[in-house]
Structures are given as structure tokens and as C-alpha cells.
Amino acid sequence: MTVLSQPSREQLDLSRVLEALSNPIRQRVVATLAANPDHAYNCGELLADLPKSTATHHWRILREGGVIGVRLDGRNRRPCLRRDDLDARFPGLLDAILGAVATSAPSHAGVIA
């Protein structure tokens, strides 16, 4: 089984978090995860209209940036927003970004809203 790397709370770096959140597709994924924290999405479900290699790239950037964690559920990988870690390390940052995303352009194709 492949171990997916992600930074610990103490290792979260503002530049990497902001880089991960700089892409509109990743912003919409994070907004969806934040709006539905109890829903167990699988990675393919959230970026269904993107080629698998492109979706994998976006998931890697979000995970390695510390924005999401991924838990294994059988053969599925379930992304989860690391809200507690982000709020502890950078208070208010995630809410500010999510507020800006909510007032921006319509959602991108393939991302469940």
C-alpha cells in the first residue's frame, strides 16, 4: 500500500498552502469539502470530468500543501479538509479564502457543488 505524504500541523507552510489554494479547481474542491464535512466523497467523485492524471495532480498539490488529508476506505481514497490544522496554524485564512471563492465565478465543470 502506498503511503501518501502530507505535512504535520507544525510543518504547514503558508506559501505551500496559498500555492495549493491558488488554482480555481482546487478552490472549488476545498469549498465543497468545507461545505459538506460529513460527506465521504471519493477522489474521483469530486473531479469526475477531469482526466485522471490531472485530478491526481490537483489532489497531490492539495495534500502536499497540507490543505487536505486522505484516508483509505477499502479501495477508495477519501479526501478530508484539514480545517482544524489550518485554523490552528493560520487563524482565519481558510474562512477568508472560502469567502472569496463563494463570491467568485461559477463552479468549474466536474466539481460537485
Residue pLDDT, tens place only, 14-57: 999 999 999 999 999 999 999 998 888 888 889 998 999 999 99
59 assigned to some structural domain? yes
18 assigned to some structural domain? yes
If residue 20 lies in a helix (H) or strand (E), which one and from where to where?
Answer: helix 14-20
- Give the CATH number for residue 24: 1.10.10.10
Confidence of residue 113 (pLDDT cuts 50, 70, 90): very low
| Structural domain count, the chain | 1
76 assigned to some structural domain? yes
5 assigned to some structural domain? no
Q: Which residue do the cell numbers 505535512 mark?
A: 7
Confidence of residue 11 (pLDDT cuts 50, 70, 90): very high
Domain that residue 59 falls in: 12-102
1 assigned to some structural domain? no
Which has the closest alpha carbon to 15: 79, 80, 89? Answer: 89
